[in-house]
Amino acid sequence: MIEVENLTKRYGNILAVDRVSFRVDSGEIVGFLGPNGAGKTTIMRILTGFIPPTGGRAILSGFDIMEKPLEVKRRIGYLPEHPPIYNDMLVSPYLEFVSQLKEVEAKERTREVRRVMDLCGLTEVENRLIGNLSRGYRQRVGLAQALLGDPEILVLDEPTIGLDPRQIIEIRELIKNLRSEHTIILSSHILPEVEMLCGRVIIIHEGKIVAEDRPEHLQSTLKSSDRLFVQVGRAGPEVPESIRRIPGVISVFTEEKIPGGYLIDLERDEQKVREEVARVIVAGGFGLLELKPIRMSLEEVFVRLTTVESGSPEEGGKFS
Ligand SMILES: Nc1ncnc2c1ncn2[C@@H]1O[C@H](COP(=O)(O)OP(=O)(O)O)[C@@H](O)[C@H]1O
Ligand SMILES: [Mg+2]
């Protein structure tokens, strides 16, 4: 289990992580989702004991990262952004070497290295030079070193970044197979990946958690404040004014890219509200051209959640 409370990290003037709190239960797989610079790597480096936090605390498997860093490190397998792999070593001796660092008992090492090589599909390249392997295989080596010693917790920083589509599928399959036996935190800026692998998503933006839920709930949270798009032939200030008066309508704003286009936020997308919007537009003689509901993919949810934080005035506060 992982418990994080008000974790904060400053690099000089940069507030990279801002009072982040969350909890990951044993056996759970949680995804950190956020754009570049959001603070995902920084949180992971703190949890794995590579850098100290500026404030707050984190407890992993009952041990405080500041008080018992060694106990924590023994229980974590970490795949950093840039895995610490040595290009001039062969795969199998490299893993032997890491297993020694990880205090795997001498008599267990060979078996343990075999186990992770099997798991990661590395057996056929065990005697190859790491530097000569493809990016996908090098990532498997990175994952294999994280798995040595069978740690309870896995922290995987952008495990599929830089891989080609086939390699991405392979690494995702591998992670899927690990999830029943480990507590996993992984980071990604790819939504479908997080949806596919994680039971829970923590969306991070500018060092803060801006949303946290199961992937399917994040979408339904937004469905409950659904949107309509309408286009009218005769736009004018009276159009949003009359739509805004309809019960169930939260706000109306102009879709600047489409002439006569408006976006309408509803409390809930119900047929009677849609009918009423259509009726008001027709009755006002605005010339209804189009009316359609807009469903948001997790991708759009993510974009909206993160744009709110950077202060878009008409949407401000809605999801915060
Ligand atoms: N060693 C460092 N020194 C100064 N600033 C850093 C350092 N590492 C990260 N940052 C800054 O902290 C913020 C968060 O970065 P990072 O944790 O790498 O985000 P992510 O992994 O989500 O892309 C960024 O603004 C980044 O520039
Ligand atoms: Mg990162």
| β-strand pairing of 208-213 with 200-205 | antiparallel
Closest atom, ligand 1, to C-alpha of 36? 23
DSSP string across 47-65: HTTSS--SEEEEEETTEET
Cβ 238 vs Cβ 285: under 8 Å: no
pLDDT at 271: 85
Count the Cβ atoms, other than its own, within 10 Å of residue 266. 20
Of 45, 48, 57, 50, the closest CA to residue 16 belongs to 45
DSSP string across the chain: -EEEEEEEEEETTEEEEEEEEEEE-TT-EEEEE--TTSSHHHHHHHHTTSS--SEEEEEETTEETTT-HHHHHHTEEEE-SS----TTSBHHHHHHHHHHHTT--HHHHHHHHHHHHHHTT-GGGTTSBGGGS-HHHHHHHHHHHHHTT--SEEEESSTTTT--HHHHHHHHHHHHHHTTTSEEEEEES-HHHHHHH-SEEEEEETTEEEEEE-HHHHHHHHHTT-EEEEEESS--THHHHHHHTSTTEEEEEE-TTSTTEEEEEESS--HHHHHHHHHHHHHTT--EEEEEEEPPPHHHHHHHHHHHHTT-TTTTTS--
Query: What are phi and psi for residue 133, nearest 5 degrees?
Result: -80, 155
Domain boundaries, the chain: 2-214, 227-294
CB contact burial 68-95 (16+ within 10 A = b; e otherwise)? beeebbebbbbbbeebebeeebbbbebb
Long-range Cβ contact pairs of 121-126 (< 8 A, separation 24 or more)? 121/170, 121/174, 122/91, 125/91, 126/90, 126/91, 126/92
Burial class (CB in 10 A: 0-12, 13-18, 19+), 317: exposed
Distance 205 CA to ligand 1 centre (A): 12
pLDDT at 59: 97
pLDDT at 256: 84
pLDDT at 191: 77
pLDDT at 85: 83
Whose C-alpha lies nearest to ligand 1, atom 26?
Answer: 37
Count the Cβ atoms, other than its own, within 10 Å of residue 249. 19
Residue of 33, 41, 54 with the most ligand 1 atoms within 8 Å of its CB, for mutation: 41
Residue of 11, 50, 54, 206 with the most ligand 1 atoms within 8 Å of its CB, for mutation: 11
Task: Give the strand order in the sheet containing 183-188.
Answer: 76-79, 153-156, 183-188, 29-33, 200-205, 208-213
pLDDT at 317: 32
Closest atom, ligand 1, to C-alpha of 41? 21
Distance 90 CA to ligand 1 centre (A): 32
Distance 40 CA to ligand 1 centre (A): 8
Would you write out the chain's pLDDT as a tens digit for each of its 320 residues?
999 999 999 999 999 999 999 999 999 999 999 888 999 999 999 999 999 999 999 999 999 999 999 999 999 999 998 887 889 999 999 999 999 999 999 999 999 999 999 999 999 999 999 999 998 899 999 999 999 999 999 999 999 988 888 888 989 999 998 888 899 999 998 877 888 899 999 989 889 998 888 887 776 665 555 789 999 999 999 999 999 999 999 889 998 889 999 999 888 777 899 999 999 999 999 999 999 988 666 566 666 665 543 333 333 333 33
Q: What is the CATH number of domain 2-214?
A: 3.40.50.300
Question: For domain 227-294, which architecture applies?
Answer: 2-Layer Sandwich (3.30)
